[in-house]
Amino acid sequence: MEQRHLGTLTTSALGLGCMGLSQGYGPADDERSVRVIRTALDLGVRMLDTAMSYGQGHNERLIARAIAGRRDETLLATKFGIVRGPDGVRVDARPERVRADCEASLARLGTDVIDLYYLHRADPRVPIGETIAAMAELVQAGKVRHLGLSEVTADQLEQAAAVHPIAAVQLEWSLLWRRPEADVIPAARRHGIGVVPYSPLGRGLLTDSLTEADIRLSDFRSADPRFQGGNLAANRRQVAALRRFAEQREISAGQLALAWLLAQGPDVVPIPGTRSPDRLADNARSAEIHLGPADLRELDELLRADGWAGDRRSFAVPVTARHAPARATGSGK
């Protein structure tokens, strides 16, 4: 598979988003999940994306099992900052907990270094520069190779980059959700930061294969306004147009959606998730599809960015009350 660059980090053009193997889309089968991860490696998909919060550590342990004996083929990306436990979900990215969270992830992943370590969510009570400075100590200690950020604003990205080089910013981006093109993505490119789109298939909507049961059984879909009532009906009409465009080129709707993202620049590495080896192979073939300027213009006219209905579900996560409000700060240094 084609190799791309996230800052100074080299990886495959596509990664595998592993969250759905542990949460969010109904019960999963670990044996099948292991096969999916190993199939991804067989197809040249190197980057496996996880987080300490996915399944309360289950996802990291699952990946460790799947890559046993194949660590050198794998680029491990994990995240901290969202804490999921018996008392619910919260954000806690205090500098004093960064090292312990990292070491816990290292143990679950069965490795001595994390290739790409993300701040999963910025903690509004902590200047982001202070969290990044603590993450930079992990790089100096050899526990982490590269730093990343997830779901941050353009201003937060700027503040973080002023403290330490950032390899990648992870965000929702797809034909269904293009709002980051207005601010975060330009900010990333000003600093040479790669872009890692999650939900690049619009939580499955852009594959043109979602059923009502798929939506009902998924917490992430059923709570998302884009999958409800009239919004869903309008969005299905958009997807039908996507399918027709894809059929003219003898590819699937999902392949077209991924190829569109890949065509947005060599600094873009989507991480579609799936529980199906067949879907995984379909996704991987999208890296071989070339969309030229005329194709992109036609798609923009056919699927206008403002033609989709419904805002995405809020990604706000409660902040722990067990630490004091942050001190006022400017750059976050």
Positions marked active-site: 54
Check if the beta carbon of residue 195 is closer than 8 Å to that of residue 166.
no
Q: Could you report how far apart the first and last alpha carbons of the chain are, in Å?
A: 39
Check if the beta carbon of residue 14 is closer than 8 Å to that of residue 269.
yes
Check if the beta carbon of residue 191 is closer than 8 Å to that of residue 252.
no
Task: Compute how many other C-beta atoms are within 10 angstroms of the C-beta atom of residue 88.
Answer: 9
Residue ranges of alpha helices (H) inside the chain are 30-42, 58-66, 95-109, 128-140, 154-161, 184-190, 212-216, 219-222, 229-248, 253-262, 277-285, 293-302
Residue 199 DSSP label: S
Check if the beta carbon of residue 84 is closer than 8 Å to that of residue 22.
no
Distance CA 46, CA 315 (A): 27
Extract the tokens encoding 27. Answer: 């019960």
Q: At what angle do helices 30-42 and 58-66 cross, to 10 degrees?
A: 50
242: left (phi over 0), alpha (psi -120 to 50) or beta: alpha
CA distances from 169 to 159, 200, 254 (A): 13, 14, 23
Q: How distant is the alpha carbon of residue 130 from its chain centre?
A: 23
Beta partners for 258?
Answer: none
Residue ranges of alpha helices (H) inside 43-94 are 58-66
